[in-house]
Amino acid sequence: MPVPETLVAITDASLRRGPATLLTGVDLRLGAGERWALLGPNGAGKTTLLSLIGARAHPTTGSVEILGARLGRIDIRELWPRIGHVEGTSHVLTHLTSQEAVLTGATGTLDLQQRWHPNEAQQRRAGELEDLFDVRRLAERPLRTLSSGELRRVLLARSLMPDPELLLLDEPAANLDLPARERLIAAMDDLADTHPRLLSVLVTHHLEELPATTTHALLMREGRVLAAGPVEETLTEELLGDCFELRLKVVRDDGRWAARAVR
């Protein structure tokens, strides 16, 4: 099997904010077409690590290379259009319609720019993404009227407008009910077919939120990487138990994972 092109290379990276050390000695290689899950308890450093991978923060020590550019040697704003980002909450202005919100992904702004009009190719791409995530029927609905699940799918479509090489998902299923969560996970699974070279990193607390197409996993605790590698080697009862400090029973059925505490 060919080795995938490395898109993220982190070497002995640490990050401190004031007296607090948030990350320590992180080494990580992420390749094109890989779909990573990043798991750990609250305060483990997951979102902080995602900020390095997304070129939103610089390491205090060590090196971080994103999409072939080393942080500290490039204007990180040049990287941002190549990185899609979906969070559990949205900063996109809620007066926008669903379709307008998707189109803001072409400009990387939170609102439609004055005197900007999408060209034919941008309109076509927006429609394709709306179809992919089943939100075209919501095109004229303001974001503020959407359910949480509908909003997350709109934001997923928005994140792919510039055709990024790297997609970061920070707890996208947080606070969703079961049907909305499952529709979102199905949409993320579809990306493996429609965007096979896209590198994705999904942050979550729950194994049940992992798409079946997840290929790799990384476990964190107290700002350190405990384990990283293919899901079958990483999401074991022993490693997950060490990560969450809990005896666990872990099962996998039809590609999906689940865990429960062992009494």
pLDDT of residue 229: 97
Query: How many domains is the chain built from?
Result: 1
- 35 inside domain: yes
pLDDT of residue 115: 80
Rounded CA separation 180/2 (Å): 36
- Res. 256: pLDDT tops 70: yes
Rounded CA separation 78/167 (Å): 16
Whole-angstrom CA distances from 78 to 51, 73, 170, 199 are: 16, 11, 21, 18
Share of the chain above pLDDT 90, in %: 76
CATH code for the domain in which residue 223 is found: 3.40.50.300
Instruction: Find the length of the chain.
Output: 263
pLDDT of residue 114: 78
Crossing angle for the helix pair 148-159 and 178-194, nearest 10 degrees?
A: 20
- 65 inside domain: yes
Rounded CA separation 146/99 (Å): 12
pLDDT in tens, 178-226: 999 999 999 999 999 999 999 999 999 899 999 999 999 999 999 999 9
- 167 inside domain: yes
Question: pLDDT band at residue 3, thresholds of 50, 70 and 90?
Answer: low
- 99 inside domain: no
- 256 inside domain: yes
pLDDT in tens, 111-162: 777 788 889 999 999 999 999 999 999 999 999 999 989 998 999 999 999 8
Residues 6+ apart with CB under 8 A from 130: 98, 99, 102, 136, 139, 157
pLDDT of residue 4: 67
- 100 inside domain: no
Q: Which range of residues forms the domain containing residue 179? A: 6-83+161-261
Q: Which residues pair with 85 in a beta bridge?
A: 168
Two tokens, residue 70: 């080393």
- 103 inside domain: no
- 133 inside domain: no
Query: Please, what is the average pLDDT of the chain?
Result: 91
DSSP per-residue codes, 188-240: HHHHHHH-TT-EEEEEES-GGGS-TT--EEEEEETTEEEEEEEHHHHS-HHHH
pLDDT of residue 87: 78
pLDDT in tens, 82-120: 999 887 666 777 788 999 999 988 887 777 777 888 899
5: amino acid identity, one letter: E
